[in-house]
């Protein structure tokens, strides 16, 4: 694979990521702006619209600059994948730091603007709880994960059954030409690495699907009925996406595992994972674009007035930098993000932090323990 093809693949992967970062402010709830709570009717204020536009332009420029540097690095490094990977990682890290600093700049501007406007002065702040919310079907059944479990168990059984037919050296990594760049000596640990990772990922996706159903409800005080319907659609769509992604990832791992027994074109072993990654990234963007955070972009046709004397309770003090939720008095472990789409944890709850760290440690530990 020449350097041009090499670059084209990475550009195909990174461009959707850049686009998603640019338009985050347009996907968050209409009751939040750059990590700051606002009345929903203020969302289309000219100043806020201008801020969202400037943020998208700034991140767009950062993305283009990053892409240009990325291309220059690719042309300089050529097909030296180790050098390219190191430089690529550094560049992505700098992009993440730069985009976060850009967010913090707009977050501070938003806090200053809110303090000057004092929107809540003449309005009642309320927290709305719908006691029948949990009675709704918020996610798709966890039984869908039985497909992934069966595939994982089948991988384990087949691997043990035909262990003697597996070559003494197992390919662990391919370059973009389909050549093996990293081998591992055959052992039960190395042979079972992928099936065990399949089981771990299946449990992880099952947990995420359960978390989506259990996460704290967030009902708009201004438009409660509309926000409830939107949130139900939001959770069900992401539940379906999690199930599809989890099943697809399990199938992908099964194909890789089968390559130990059967001859599969090395190019397939390179292209299929890349296409899967691109597909998941594009799917995430489409879902965020059509659904928004909490279902904010979903049209539900519920006839509720646009302006009321009731707004959501201002809980900005619990959101550090507008992104990290820390509230000891809130029993919720998982809540919706303030900036972006998805969920985060309540950092004041030790159990939430323990679960978060455990997920990371297992993901890091399994390859180390079983990698030979």
- Closest by CA position to 30, among listed 315, 292, 303, 282: 292
The answer to whether residues 143 and 16 belong to one domain is no
Residue given tokens 């299946």 in the structure block: 202
Among the residue ranges 111-115, 117-121, 205-209, the one predicted with the least confidence is 117-121
Q: What is the pLDDT of residues 314-356, one digit of tens each?
A: 888 999 999 999 999 999 999 999 998 899 999 999 999 999 9
Length of the chain: 372
Count Cβ neighbours within 10 Å for each residue of 333-368 and write b for 16 or more, e otherwise: bbbbbbbbbebbbbbbbeebeebeeeeeeeeeeeee
The answer to whether residues 115 and 130 belong to one domain is no
Question: Residue 227 pLDDT more than 80?
Answer: yes
In the chain, the number of structural domains is 2
- Closest by CA position to 66, among listed 37, 38, 98, 39: 98
The answer to whether residues 103 and 155 belong to one domain is no
Of 272, 290, 307, which one is at a domain's C-terminal end?
Answer: 307
Query: Has residue 181 been placed in a domain?
Result: yes
The answer to whether residues 152 and 285 belong to one domain is yes
- Closest by CA position to 321, among listed 55, 33, 35: 35
Query: Has residue 177 been placed in a domain?
Result: yes
Query: What is the pLDDT confidence band of residue 73, given thresholds at 50, 70 and 90?
Result: confident
Q: What is the pLDDT of residue 127?
A: 76
Domain that holds residue 26: 1-120
Query: Has residue 176 been placed in a domain?
Result: yes
The answer to whether residues 133 and 246 belong to one domain is yes
Of 307, 331, 348, which one is at a domain's C-terminal end?
Answer: 307
The pTM assigned to this predicted structure is 0.85
Q: What is the pLDDT of residues 208-224, one digit of tens each?
A: 999 999 999 888 877 88
Q: What is the pLDDT of residues 274-298, one digit of tens each?
A: 888 888 988 998 999 899 998 888 8
- Closest by CA position to 27, among listed 258, 309, 242, 336: 336
Of 262, 278, 307, which one is at a domain's C-terminal end?
Answer: 307
Query: What is the pLDDT confidence band of residue 371, given thresholds at 50, 70 and 90?
Result: low
The answer to whether residues 95 and 154 belong to one domain is no
């Amino acid at each position: 694979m020449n350097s041009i093809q090499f670059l084209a693949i990475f550009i195909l992967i990174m461009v959707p990521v850049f686009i998603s970062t640019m338009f985050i402010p347009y996907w968050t709830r209409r009751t939040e702006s750059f990590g700051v709570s606002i009345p929903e009717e203020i969302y289309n204020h000219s100043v806020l619209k201008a801020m969202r536009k400037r943020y998208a332009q700034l991140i767009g420029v950062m993305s283009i600059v990053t892409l240009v540097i990325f291309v220059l690095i690719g042309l300089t490094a050529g097909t030296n994948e180790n050098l390219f990977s190191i430089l690529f990682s550094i560049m992505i890290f700098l992009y993440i730091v730069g985009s976060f600093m850009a967010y913090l700049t707009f977050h501070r501007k938003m806090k200053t603007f809110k303090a000057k406007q004092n929107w809540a002065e003449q309005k009642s702040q309320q927290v709305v709880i719908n006691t029948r919310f949990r009675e709704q079907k918020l996610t798709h059944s966890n039984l869908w994960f039985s497909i992934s479990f069966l595939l994982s168990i089948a991988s384990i059984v087949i691997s043990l059954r035909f262990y003697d037919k597996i070559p003494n050296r197992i390919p662990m990594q391919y370059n973009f030409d389909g050549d093996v760049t990293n081998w591992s000596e055959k052992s039960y640990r190395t042979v079972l690495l992928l099936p065990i990772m399949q089981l771990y990922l299946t449990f992880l996706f099952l947990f995420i699907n359960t978390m989506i159903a259990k996460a704290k409800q967030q009902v708009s005080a201004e438009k409660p009925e509309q926000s409830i319907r939107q949130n139900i659609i939001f959770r069900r769509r992401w539940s379906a996406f999690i199930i599809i992604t989890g099943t697809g990832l399990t199938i992908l791992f099964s194909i890789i595992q089968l390559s130990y027994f059967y001859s599969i074109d090395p190019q397939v072993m390179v292209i299929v994972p890349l296409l899967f990654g691109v597909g998941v990234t594009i799917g995430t963007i489409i879902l965020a674009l059509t659904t928004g955070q909490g279902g904010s972009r979903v049209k539900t046709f519920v006839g509720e007035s646009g302006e009321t004397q009731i707004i959501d309770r201002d809980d900005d003090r619990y959101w550090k930098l507008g992104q990290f939720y820390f509230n000891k008095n809130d029993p919720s472990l998982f809540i919706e993000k303030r900036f972006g789409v998805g969920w985060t944890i309540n950092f004041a709850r030790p159990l939430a932090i323990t679960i978060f760290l455990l997920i990371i440690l297992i993901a890091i530990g399994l390859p180390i323990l079983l990698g030979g």
